[in-house]
């Protein structure tokens, strides 16, 4: 990978990057809270299948809202990666990987929002569609997002103080671990990977939002 360099736009792309990082930070914080407070009741983190189904049916509006926060977070991370690549004039492949991730991610969320509440009484179909959604979002899309994070953090490891790229690299590593957990269908592993992933992502986004790159003019 070639070394990064700062954009020649004096301050313009940096302001855009900081804005994108701040937006992504805020939306991922909200989405993380939605996962912890709402979505966990209808996911595998709730071991009582009947309770899961009842929650989705009885709280359809909350369920939809919570997933929409993750839709917004996905769009925000694409904006962030695009701004990051533009500011540092490197890592365009990460932007394309993220664009590729958006499709399966949004399709998976559409299944969770639009299909699962309608088929809650059909356990076999419910489980099958949810598993498809997990593979599309948790395995495919998350794997691409995580690879993008790792690429961008690695290519800018000399631009920021060490803790910023370290947080980005950890985001990529824990994200790949989450993808592996999704593929293996391990609810416990997915839970703990998320517990490690989200703080690393927030730390990276926060660092990019507040830390001035070393060689920026």
For residue 1, tell me if it sits in a domain.
no
Q: Reduce the DSSP state of residue 8 to 3 states and report it.
A: coil
**pLDDT of 163 over the 80 cut:** yes
Residue 10 scores a pLDDT above 50: no
- Axis-axis angle for helices 163-184, 142-155 (nearest 10): 160
The tens digit of pLDDT for each residue in 114-147 reads: 999 989 889 899 999 999 999 999 999 999 999 9
Per-residue confidence at 12, pLDDT binned at 50, 70, 90? confident
Residue 187 falls inside a structural domain: yes
CA atoms within 13 A on the CB side of 198: 18
Kindly state whether residue 113 falls inside one of the protein's structural domains.
Answer: yes
* Any domain includes 83: yes
Segment 151-156 shows an average pLDDT of 96
Q: Which domain holds residue 124?
A: 12-210
Determine the pLDDT at residue 2.
46
7 is a domain residue: no
Give the count of domains, the chain: 1
Q: How confident is the model at residue 3 (pLDDT cuts 50, 70, 90)?
A: very low
The tally of CA atoms less than 13 A away on the side-chain side of residue 202 is 14
Q: Are 52 and 41 in contact (CB under 8 A)?
A: yes
User: Mean pLDDT, to the nearest integer, of 11-31?
Assistant: 94
Mean confidence (pLDDT) of the chain: 92
DSSP secondary structure letter of residue 113: I
CB atoms within 10 A of CB 154: 16
CA pair distance 133, 127, nearest whole angstrom: 10
Instruction: Count CB atoms within 10 A of the CB of residue 8.
Output: 9
- 217 in a domain, yes or no? no
């Amino acid at each position: 990978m070639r070394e990064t360099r700062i954009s020649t736009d004096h301050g313009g792309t940096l302001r855009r990057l900081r804005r994108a990082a701040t937006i992504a930070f805020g939306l991922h914080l909200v989405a993380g809270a939605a996962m912890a407070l709402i979505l966990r009741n209808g996911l595998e983190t709730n071991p009582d299948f009947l309770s899961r189904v009842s929650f989705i049916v009885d709280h359809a509006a909350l369920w939809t809202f919570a997933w929409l926060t993750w839709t917004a977070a996905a769009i925000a991370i694409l904006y962030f990666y695009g701004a990051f690549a533009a500011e540092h004039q490197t890592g365009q492949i990460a932007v394309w990987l993220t664009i590729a991730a958006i499709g399966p991610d949004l399709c998976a969320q559409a299944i969770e929002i639009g299909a699962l509440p309608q088929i809650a009484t059909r356990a076999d179909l419910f489980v099958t569609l949810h598993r498809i959604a997990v593979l599309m979002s948790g395995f495919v899309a998350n794997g691409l997002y995580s690879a993008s994070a790792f690429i961008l953090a690695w290519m800018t490891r000399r631009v920021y103080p060490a803790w910023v790229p370290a947080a980005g690299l950890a985001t990529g590593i824990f994200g790949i671990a989450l993808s592996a957990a999704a593929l293996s269908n391990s609810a416990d592993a997915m839970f703990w990977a998320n517990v490690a992933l989200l703080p690393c992502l927030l730390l990276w986004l926060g660092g990019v939002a507040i830390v001035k790159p070393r060689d920026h003019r």
